[in-house]
């Protein structure tokens, strides 16, 4: 049993922490998310240069041989700076599908681009009526000769406006919500028949509604076995959840620290509001909620390889516990900041917004509580 980070992991953390501090300061971020691009490709290029984008890939696949703990370290730092660049969709999700389900040719074709920063991916899984059920798909992929034809509408595809490629889930057989009949495809976003409606998300990122109209793809677009993609999706999204939990921990840590600092500066009744016991105890409860979230994130991250049932159980435990902590810390941070907490000007509100949307990604507290209960 060991809770130490390796020297390499400490170096990654220090490097990213410096990058976020020096180049991702609040004003720069504010301008970037308001720009027409909405992100900073130059930051993405720097992440590639630092080896961050290649971290979780094996050396054989052209990466740096890192694992889930490395992704956790990276995401925590991104969370601290509310970094919007699409590490989870590109490296964790697309990278995960390629690692766990890709053929040698697919890995060859795509991983190099991810590691170099030239390929950016988005993961198109959600649908307007599917909620958190990855098998509740109206999007179809019909066999057509050697390839497939995709039709459907994917909802809130995070990072799609920046993406060169999409990972798409679609039904190749079975009835809506059947466990079998779900397949995963990798497609270039500029493939004929794909249209997008791009927009800004409340937490400062970009997303799109993605429409597929008779989109013809080759047989080589299929990742994993046809109709048996659900297990792969569950594995990859569990890895994504662990990464998002780490991001949330980073954001919670900063939100809590900002709140404590604010309570030290802000005076009412002639004294700092941090001298009031009623606020002190609330900030202590925020702190214990943060520690709870960190512990559950460690647990989920370290159990990703522990077999399907154990993996699902701990990941759901983390999504529930971290989701509850994120809700509490976000709301309390705003409350203790008073009126300033509900302004756009103060950073705290933006941490609150990111922590709020975190809950809806890959299943909220209720969804994962149900999965935890079902696993007994």
Partner 1 sequence: MNLEFTPEEQAFRDEVRAFIAENHPKELGDFGMREDMTREEMVAWHKILGAKGWSVPAWPVEYGGTGWTPTQRYIWSEENARANTFMPLPFGVSMVGPVIYTFGNEEQKAKHLPGIRSGEVWWCQGYSEPGAGSDLASLKTTAVRDGDHYVINGQKTWTTLAQHADWGFFLCRTDPTAKAQEGISFILVDMKTPGVEVKPIKLLDGGYEVNETWLTDVRVPVENLVGVENKGWTYAKFLLAHERSGIAGVARSKRGVEKLREIAANETLDGAPLIKDFDFAKKVSQLEIDLAALEITELRTLAGEQAGKGPGPESSILKIKGTEIQQRLTELTLEAVGTYSAPYYGSIANDTGSNEYAVGPAHAQHAAATYFNMRKTSIYGGSNEIQRNIITKMILGL
At 117, give phi and psi (nearest 5°).
90, 5
User: Which of 45, 155, 254, 283 touches partner 1 (CB under 8 A)?
Assistant: 283
User: Which of 63, 161, 250, 321 touches partner 1 (CB under 8 A)?
Assistant: 321
Q: Which two tokens stand for residue 170?
A: 């679609």
Least separation in angstroms between CB 333 and partner 1: 14
Least separation in angstroms between CB 244 and partner 1: 17
C-beta separation of 10 from 17 below 8 A: no
β-strand 206-217 against 194-200: which pairing, if any?
Answer: antiparallel
Q: Find the part of the chain contacting partner 1 (CB under 8 A) among 38-46, 90-98, 177-185, 260-268.
A: 260-268
User: Which of 200, 284, 309, 342 touches partner 1 (CB under 8 A)?
Assistant: 284
* Per CB under 8 A, 129 contacts partner 1: no
User: Which of 3, 7, 105, 339 touches partner 1 (CB under 8 A)?
Assistant: 3
- Nearest CB to partner 1, comparing residues 6 and 35: 6
H or E element at residue 200: strand 194-200
- Nearest CB to partner 1, comparing residues 212 and 262: 262
Q: Find the part of the chain contacting partner 1 (CB under 8 A) among 12-20, 51-59, 221-229, 271-279.
A: 271-279
Least separation in angstroms between CB 302 and partner 1: 5
* Per CB under 8 A, 69 contacts partner 1: yes
- CA separation for the pair 121, 117 (Å, rounded): 10
Q: Tokens 């595809």 label which residue? A: 157
User: Which of 11, 264, 267, 338 touches partner 1 (CB under 8 A)?
Assistant: 264
User: Which of 118, 214, 275, 343 touches partner 1 (CB under 8 A)?
Assistant: 275
**3-state secondary structure (DSSP) of residue 361:** coil
CA angle 254, 256, 262 (to 5 degrees): 100
- Site mask for partner 1 (CB under 8 A), range 15-54, x = bound: ----------------------------------------
- Nearest CB to partner 1, comparing residues 69 and 93: 69
Q: Which residues pair with 168 in a beta bridge?
A: 124, 185
Distance, CA of 204 to chain centre? 14
Query: CB under 8 Å to 19, separation ≥6 — which residues?
Result: 43, 46, 47, 50
* Per CB under 8 A, 296 contacts partner 1: yes
- CA separation for the pair 232, 245 (Å, rounded): 20
* Per CB under 8 A, 372 contacts partner 1: yes
Total residues contacting partner 1 (rule CB under 8 A)?
37
- CA separation for the pair 200, 161 (Å, rounded): 10
Q: Quote the radius of gyration of the chain (alpha carbons, Å).
A: 21
H or E element at residue 217: strand 206-217
* Per CB under 8 A, 211 contacts partner 1: no
Q: Determine the angle formed by the axes of helices 41-49 and 7-23, rounding to 10 degrees.
A: 160
Residues engaged in binding partner 1 (CB under 8 A):
1-5, 69, 260, 263-264, 274-275, 277, 280-281, 283-285, 287-288, 291-296, 298-299, 302-303, 314, 317, 320-321, 369-370, 372-373
């Amino acid at each position: 049993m060991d809770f130490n980070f390796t020297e390499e992991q400490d170096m990654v953390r220090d490097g990213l922490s410096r990058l976020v501090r020096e180049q991702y300061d609040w004003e720069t971020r504010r301008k970037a998310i308001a720009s027409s691009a909405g992100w900073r490709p130059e930051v993405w290029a720097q992440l590639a240069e630092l080896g961050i984008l290649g971290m979780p890939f094996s050396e054989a696949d052209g990466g740096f041989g890192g694992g889930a703990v490395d992704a956790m370290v990276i995401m925590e730092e991104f969370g601290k700076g509310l970094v919007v660049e699409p590490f989870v969709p590109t490296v964790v999700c697309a990278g995960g599908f390629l690692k766990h389900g890709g053929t040698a040719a697919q890995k060859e074709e795509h991983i190099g681009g991810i590691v170099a920063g030239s390929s950016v991916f988005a993961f198109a899984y959600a649908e307007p009526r599917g909620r958190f059920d990855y098998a509740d798909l109206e999007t179809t992929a019909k066999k057509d000769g050697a390839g497939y034809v995709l039709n459907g509408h994917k909802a809130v595809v995070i990072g799609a406006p920046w993406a060169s490629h999409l990972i798409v889930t679609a039904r190749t057989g079975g009835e809506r919500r059947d466990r079998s009949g779900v397949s995963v495809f990798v497609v270039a976003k500029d493939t004929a028949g794909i249209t997008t409606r791009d927009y800004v998300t409340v937490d400062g990122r970009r997303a799109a509604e993605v429409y597929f109209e008779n989109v013809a793809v080759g047989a080589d677009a299929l990742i994993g076995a046809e109709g048996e993609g659900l297990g792969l999706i569950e594995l990859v999204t569990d890895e994504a959840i662990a990464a998002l939990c780490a991001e949330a921990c980073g954001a919670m840590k900063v939100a809590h620290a900002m709140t404590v600092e604010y309570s030290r500066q802000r005076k009412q009744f002639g004294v700092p509001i941090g001298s009031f016991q009623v606020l002190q105890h609330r900030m202590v409860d925020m702190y214990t909620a943060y520690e709870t979230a960190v512990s559950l994130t460690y647990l989920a991250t370290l159990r990703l390889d522990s077999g399907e049932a154990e993996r699902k159980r701990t990941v759901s435990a983390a999504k529930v516990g971290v989701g509850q902590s994120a809700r509490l810390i976000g709301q309390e941070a705003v409350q203790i900041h008073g009126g300033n907490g509900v302004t756009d000007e103060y950073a705290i509100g933006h941490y609150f917004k990111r922590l709020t949307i975190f809950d809806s990604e890959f299943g909220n507290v209720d969804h994962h509580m149900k999965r935890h209960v079902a696993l007994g």
